[in-house]
Amino acid sequence: MSVPKLRDPSLFKQGVAYVNGEWVPAKSGKTFDVHDPATGKFIGSCPEFDAQDTEKAIEAAAEAFESFRHLTGRQRSKLLRRWYELVMENADDLATLITWENGKPTADAKGEVVYAANFFEWFSEEAPRIYGDTIPSSVPGNRVFTIKEPVGVCGLITPWNFPAAMITRKVGPALAVGCTVVCKAPGETPFTPLALAELAHRAGIPKGVVNVITALDNTPEVGEVLTTHPTVRKVSFTGSTPVGKLLMKQCSGTLKKLSLELGGNAPFIVFDDADVDAAVAGAIASKFRSSGQTCVCANRIYVQRGIYDEFAEKFAAKVREFRVGNGFEAGVTHGPLIHHRAVEKVERHVHDAKEKGAKVVLGGHTLPDLGPNFFQPTVLTGMTPEMVMASEETFGPVAGLFPFDTEEEVVKMANSTPVGLAGYFFSRDVARVHRVAEHLEVGMVGVNTGLISDPAAPFGGVKESGFGREGSLYGIGEYQVTKMITVGGVGTLQR
């Protein structure tokens, strides 16, 4: 399957990263190769930035911050709006890059581009509406008020599973409030972030405000600079919990403001009073989006025993309709996993479940004829809490169906994990909807839906899934500091 040609080939940046408004190689001259996960074929090379390169980007962001912070909210709004328009104008090319380096089908990639662009649109509308508060003073003659100020230079570290949206969700609010950024693009999928940087340049974003750097082997070194450099005042990271803990420890030396969106193990609960067909559709959307490679994918599907068999049958029937293949091929619904390590983890989870008594209803094997990183969409029944899938995030196209009897039992199982990002359940009982939603130990709950992402909604978790929120009005606050100002001697009217 050939890769479609880009309408604008200049969006495909090889051998350079974007620093201080210029396209530059690594000072060392080193590069790393990026490969198509569907075919294993070479896509292109990107600079292997090191600590010194990263410091240069931080210096550029710091210099730009001194002027960018003083633009009005309306001025920053217009810049973000223009960036949004350029993303939409180049949506097809961006989708091609996403499918090429990430593997997700073209339809999904196009959906991601729109989702990514919407963060620019949303935050462009919020930029002119940064308000403080007037506070009644307890001291006569004093007046107290607050203003919101940008925190400063931000280090943003993003993952490969949404190479466009995870960047715009962080950069949008940062620029809206007047921050400047150094964004570490994922080594697996760097070309989409670099294309976004090119569009930022065309949108007139001032030099140094947005810097996009790349690294693969040097990722720990680059991350350490971003988390320890005293000029960086804020770090936002999306990725695994172990890496998030490491970055948090590194940030402690300079007490940076932090946002961490880390691993999940999302429960998806179907009560016997649910609309089964709607629940099946919701579970399919939640579990198999991007071949199960999202942090809010349903990882443990709990089905009440009275409808378990009906749900399992209808769920498996829908999965049988999937078509796995190269994301550029017409009709393909699911692409490859990102690399061989992801495939190995999925295989380990399926093997463990089978060894402990689960039944493979569908799938369960790799698809080597398609390519090195393909795995069959898989449905397992007879799941139990002792299986690895109950405690580890699979991050692949495997759905394990766990039976349960009571509401109390399933909520206890759903909460028996150290993480708490998202949770879902289907029920038509209004009282249960409120009761269960309040008892699930997660940062986000989907009720009678399997899709919860929205630029207008706060995204984030609790427990070891991290803290801070992205998107929405709450996402703005993550890039601000509150300054209190007290004016004394106001007194009474002079006679």
CA–CA–CA angle 207, 61, 202 (5° rounding)? 25
User: What pairs with residue 380 in β-bridges?
Assistant: 360, 400
CB atoms within 10 A of CB 139: 9
Q: How many CA atoms lie within 13 A of 212 on its CB side?
A: 30
Residues in the chain: 495
Residues with Cβ < 8 Å from 349, sequence gap 6 or more?
388, 389, 392, 394, 396, 398
88 vs 85: CA distance, rounded Å: 5
Q: Sort residue 126 into left (φ over 0), alpha (ψ -120 to 50) or beta.
A: alpha
- Cβ burial, residue 384 (10 Å; 0-12/13-18/19+): middle
What is the distance in angstroms between the CA of the first residue and the CA of the last residue of the chain?
86
d(CA 474, CA 471): 7
For residue 376, how far is the Cα from the chain centroid?
24
The catalytic site residues sit at: 261
Whether 159 and 239 have beta carbons less than 8 Å apart is answered as yes
- In which element (H, E) is residue 99 found? helix 91-102
Cβ 26 vs Cβ 53: under 8 Å: yes
Helix axes 219-228, 51-68, angle to 10 degrees: 40
From the list 13, 213, 193, the residue with the least C-alpha distance to 98 is 193
Residue type for 223, please?
Answer: G
Residue in the block written with tokens 């397992």? 380
Tokens of 337: 């996993």
Cβ neighbors of 9 (< 8 A, separation 6 or more) are: none
d(CA 269, CA 263): 19
| Three-class DSSP category at 67 | helix
